[in-house]
A and B are shown apart, each in its own frame.
Chain A
Amino acid sequence: MPKLHWEDFQPGAVAVYGPRLVTREEIVAFAAEFDPQPMHLDEAAASGTILGGLGASGWHTCCLMMRIIVDGFLLDSTSMGAPGIEEVRWLAPLRPGTRIRVRSTVVETRSSKSRPTMGLAKMSFEVLGDSDATLMTLTTTFMLGRREPAS
């Protein structure tokens, strides 16, 4: 049985997951498959772009964050997924060799009006690079099973 239920997500709670080293090889492999733009593929081509050097696809940063939080707490929770993402901001490039961490904050929780066995938890995430620079922020709302159904 998963340990974390909706009731365990307390507004204001902060946690940090990771670190995870992001290699040049995986940045280029992701880009070749899903976002083959020069600034994600090749140092020489990337140096002439707005990124000023090779950087990961922003979608790669999203996917890496997902993996870190799946391992960090989602697999150990009653999560039923998220209906979407409120907002993602790509603030700084994710460079090869960076150790990223993910800081999560529970923003608010509420019960589900239609489903008494489910609750909702709005969470914000920051992907942090070296020296704790914020590379990306993301806000989403998870659907989570409740330990006790709403009365």
Chain B
Amino acid sequence: MKYFEDIQVGDSYAVGRHTFTADEIKTFARRFDPQLFHLDEAAAERSHFGALCASGWHTAVVWMRLMVDHRRGLAEAARARGEPVPALGPALGFRELKWLKPVYVGDTIDYRSEVIETRPSGSRPRSGLMTILSTGFNQNGEMVISFLSTTFVERRPEKP
């Protein structure tokens, strides 16, 4: 975990990976995206996707879960070393989200994030803003998702 001042453009990290099962694809779709190509194998085969595939929102929120776990691991390691844990968040939103390829049953998606911009915050002097590019690649090395998001990061406190 880094304070805003210590974050460099180009910092990148493996967020985690996840294998999408038919059950979880359908369970997610029933709750949030009940289109037939996310719910039913036979209907999906007749669709332009050609086979059952995950809702794009499902592909995105799995990144969020893995990112929260990744950050929690870093925070626990920092605490174990007796170091402070800089505050992170909230995010303002995201942009340029691209669903580049369908995520099919059994696909394993490997998520990465990279810092592409840092800038001061006009509204919050104790924080800076970090923009990251997050991507997910399937087991064939094909990019399936990419998006940009901007988050507040705590600045290093001034010594009293």
**Contact, CB under 8 Å: A89 / B93:** yes
Question: Shortest Cβ distance from A6 into chain B, in angstroms?
Answer: 15
Instruction: Tell me whether B48 and A34 are in contact (CB under 8 A).
Output: no
**Chain B residues with CB below 8 A from A59, complex form:** 57, 60-61, 64
Q: Does A80 sit within 8 A of B, measured CB to CB?
A: yes
| Contact assessment for B92 and A81 in the assembled complex, using a CB-CB cutoff below 8 Å | no
Q: What are the residues of chain A within 8 A of B55 when measuring CB–CB?
A: 66
A-side interface mostly: mixed
In the complex, chain B residues 12-43 whose Cβ is within 8 Å of any chain A Cβ: 31-35
Contacts of A67 in B (CB 8 A): 31-34
**Closest approach, in angstroms, between the C-beta of A58 and any C-beta of chain B?**
7
B91 touches A (CB below 8 Å): yes
Q: Across the interface, do A70 and B65 meet the contact criterion of CB distance under 8 Å?
A: no
Contact residues in B for A33 (Cβ distance below 8 Å): 65
Identify which of residues 45-73 in chain A touch chain B, using a CB-to-CB cut-off of 8 Å: 50-51, 57-59, 62-64, 66-67, 70-71
Contact across chains for B57 and A58 when beta carbons are under 8 A apart: no
Q: Check A63 against B31 for contact (C-beta < 8 Å).
A: yes
* Nearest Cβ on chain A to B33's Cβ, whole angstroms: 5
Q: Residues 77-101 of chain B: 1 if any A CB is under 8 Å from the residue's CB, otherwise 0?
A: 0000000000001111111111100
**A70, B94: Cβ atoms closer than 8 Å:** no
Please name all residues of chain B whose beta carbon is closer than 8 Å to the beta carbon of A34 when the two chains form the complex.
Answer: 61-62, 64-65
A36 to B89, CA, bound (A): 13
What 1/0 flags go to B132-159 for Cβ under 8 Å of A? 0000000000000001000010000000
Q: Are A36 and B91 in contact (CB under 8 A)?
A: no
Which of chain B's residues have a CB closer than 8 A to the CB of A64? 32
A44 at the interface (CB under 8 A from B): no
Contacts of A136 in B (CB 8 A): 93
Q: How far is the CB of B40 from chain A (nearest CB, A)?
A: 13
B48 / chain A contacts, CB cutoff of 8 Å: 80
Nearest CB in chain A to that of B53: its residue? A81
CA distance A87 to B32 in the complex (A): 19
Given contacts A70-B35, A84-B96, A85-B94, whether A36 and B68 have CB atoms under 8 Å apart is yes
- A66 to B95 CA separation, bound complex (whole angstroms): 17
Say whether A90 contacts B92, CB under 8 Å: yes
Kindly state the separation between the CA atoms of A79 and B55 in the bound complex, as whole angstroms: 14
A89–chain B nearest beta-carbon distance, Å: 4
Residues of A close to B98: CB separation below 8 A:
83-84
In the complex, 5 of the A-B residue pairs with CB atoms within 8 angstroms, ordered by the A residue number, are A34-B61, A63-B61, A71-B34, A85-B147, A90-B93
Q: Which 3 A-B pairs have the closest CB atoms?
A: A84-B98, A63-B32, A85-B97
Assuming A35-B65, A74-B35, A86-B95, what are 10 further A-B pairs, CB within 8 angstroms? A62-B60, A63-B61, A64-B32, A66-B33, A67-B32, A67-B33, A70-B34, A82-B56, A84-B98, A85-B95
